[in-house]
């Protein structure tokens, strides 16, 4: 039996687009002699659909799409992900389901049993978990059809009380198929491979795994669909961060040798993967929103340089406008570095000095600020003046403003609300400063694109004379380690201090993170590249007292 794996990039709620893409892949699979074509989780409507799932019309359109798709399933069968109504008077109104289409009919519907309800996942808000599981019989094969999380309860510390695959294995399964929408995080890929491999080894069955690819606002799905033999070895692996299509011969899978994935705490390809994820995040955010042009403030610093370089790769250099806005405190080398970057990338740029603008603000405020020293107030006026210029250009010419703040700054509130924190998309908001430097070196791996001076000079907001980030913050190589322990690993102050970090510094850092929550609630969506990003996956109260 030949099985096609269709790894597609879907658009949430764009039923015509998604349906046409699915039908095209069915036709392609049929032309290449496939017996079955497999699509990813909730492929008809796109994942995650959020509260659109509460709209009756939205679900009606899902069923209408299935009707169109099944009409093309003649001489070939398909497995397609879509929501299914719960006709029982009890429970949530929908199931997360896999529809088996054959002979132009919906032959069977398989429902997801394990519903993730952590971090970025919120499936129990919409779906009822299935409690009964049965084998799909097709062309003499007994297929254990599961949906994403259904295979993620195979470990020493299970999150769920049940295990759908155990039930299906007892029914004599001869093949596993798992359809998924598994999002990217730089340290998640190895974990995913290991979990899938363990399932194949445990049940001694080959597996077809089809994942979604593409970015959906904050979330990036990296694809990487796979075929495993019965020994848990990966024998086929599809591309990452792009659409792909593969036909595998089930009869040959068992004869193929591959590799057994081993979990690694540190991803050796981390920076490459983050680059590709951010690039895809930018590209899909713009294309799916119907925009083509971006604008950003160019300071001559590392953050705006990395943002512009990735954006130019994602959107085309001609579609990324950099705006240099020197203040009274901007150094000549910062302006030169920003200009050199834009020219290296062939991006357009403008220079708009803000000295006169900020002086006008200060003059207007002088009667109220009389006798008071220059402080963070005047620094923030500069940042907000820049935001006014950027947003004016955005409004007038249809640019989307890209925010350039990194995760380290966002964590501790080192940014001006309604100033340098504004924007339509936060490009580096889930990338720590130390990794921003690593990204810059990666971008320069073949030739100098980002001026070396932007990488080597001490980071500075340049909002007062001789200012450096280290005046207000610990060195980033220390700060980022503390932040990672607190944000990603959820360790408290006592645990972090016990690891050898300075007590006062740790307490101060954690306090800054918590007291800056109100700022993060008002900022742009962040492209997620870690296991715990600011945004939809991290829900924290603004008014709280922890740690004490």
CB hemisphere CA count around 113 (13 angstroms) = 23
What residues act catalytically?
A: 41, 112, 148
How far, CA to CA in Å, does 23 sit from each of 66, 75, 489? Answer: 10, 14, 43
Say how many Å lie between the first and final Cα of the chain, rounded. 62
CA 410 to chain centroid, in Å, comes to 17
CA 370 to chain centroid, in Å, comes to 48
3-state secondary structure 399-430: CEEEECCCHHHHHHCCCCCCCCCCCCEECCCC
Rounded distance, CA 25 to CA 22, Å? Answer: 5
As given in the structure block, the two tokens for residue 396 are 């007038």
As given in the structure block, the two tokens for residue 117 are 């309800």
How far, CA to CA in Å, does 29 sit from each of 22, 86, 102? Answer: 11, 31, 14
As given in the structure block, the two tokens for residue 174 are 């001869």
Q: How many CB atoms lie within 10 A of CB 156?
A: 4
Contact status, residue 436 vs residue 306, Cβ threshold 8 Å: yes
**Concatenated DSSP letters for 100-126?**
EEETTEEEEEEE------STT--GGGT
């Amino acid at each position: 039996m030949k099985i096609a794996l269709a790894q597609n990039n879907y658009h949430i709620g764009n039923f015509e687009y998604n349906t046409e893409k699915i039908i095209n892949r069915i036709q392609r699979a049929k032309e290449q002699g496939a017996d079955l074509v497999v699509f990813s989780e909730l492929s008809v409507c796109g994942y995650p659909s959020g509260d659109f799932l509460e709209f009756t019309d939205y679900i009606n359109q899902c069923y209408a799409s299935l009707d169109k798709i099944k009409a093309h399933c003649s001489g070939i069968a398909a497995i397609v992900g879509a929501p299914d109504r719960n006709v029982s008077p009890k429970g949530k109104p929908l199931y997360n389901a896999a529809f088996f289409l054959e002979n132009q009919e919906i032959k069977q519907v398989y429902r997801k049993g394990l519903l993730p309800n952590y971090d970025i996942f919120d499936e129990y808000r919409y779906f009822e978990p299935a409690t009964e599981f049965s084998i799909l019989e097709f062309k003499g094969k007994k297929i254990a059809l599961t949906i994403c999380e259904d295979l993620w309860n195979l470990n020493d510390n299970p999150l769920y009380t049940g295990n759908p695959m155990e039930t299906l294995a007892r029914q004599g399964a001869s093949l596993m198929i798992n359809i998924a929408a598994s999002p990217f995080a730089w340290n998640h890929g190895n974990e995913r491979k290991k979990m899938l491999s363990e399932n194949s080894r445990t049940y001694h069955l080959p597996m077809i795994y089809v994942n979604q690819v593409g970015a959906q606002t904050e979330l990036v799905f990296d694809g990487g669909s796979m075929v495993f033999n019965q020994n848990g070895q990966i024998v086929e692996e599809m591309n990452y961060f792009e659409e792909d299509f593969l036909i595998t011969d089930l009869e040959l899978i068992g004869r193929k040798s591959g590799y057994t994935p081993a979990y690694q705490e540190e991803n050796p390809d981390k920076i490459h993967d983050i680059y590709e994820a951010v690039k895809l995040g930018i590209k899909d955010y713009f294309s799916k929103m119907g925009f083509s042009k971006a604008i950003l403030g160019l300071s001559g610093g590392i953050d705006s340089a990395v943002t512009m370089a990735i954006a130019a790769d994602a959107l085309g250099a001609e579609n990324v406008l950099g705006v240099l806005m020197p203040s009274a405190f901007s150094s000549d080398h910062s302006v030169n570095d920003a200009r050199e970057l834009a020219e290296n990338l062939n991006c357009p740029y403008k220079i708009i000095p803000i000295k006169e603008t900020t002086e006008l603000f200060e003059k207007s405020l002088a009667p109220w600020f009389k006798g008071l020293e220059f402080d963070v107030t005047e620094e923030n006026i500069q940042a907000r003046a820049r935001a006014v210029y950027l947003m004016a250009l955005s409004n007038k010419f249809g640019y989307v403003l890209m925010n350039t703040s990194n995760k380290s700054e966002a964590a501790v509130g080192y940014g001006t609300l309604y100033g340098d924190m504004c924007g339509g998309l936060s490009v580096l908001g889930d990338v720590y400063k130390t990794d921003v430097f690593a990204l810059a070196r990666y971008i320069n791996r073949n030739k100098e694109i980002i001026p070396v001076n932007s990488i080597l000079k001490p980071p500075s907001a340049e909002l007062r004379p001789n200012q450096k980030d280290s005046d207000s913050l610990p060195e980033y190589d220390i700060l980022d380690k503390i932040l990672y322990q607190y944000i990603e690993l959820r360790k408290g102050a006592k645990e972090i201090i016990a690891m050898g970090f300075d007590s006062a510094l740790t307490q101060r850092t954690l306090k800054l993170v918590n007291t800056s929550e109100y700022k993060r609630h008002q900022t742009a969506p962040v492209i997620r590249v870690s296991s715990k990003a600011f945004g939809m996956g991290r829900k924290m109260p603004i008014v709280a007292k922890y740690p004490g």
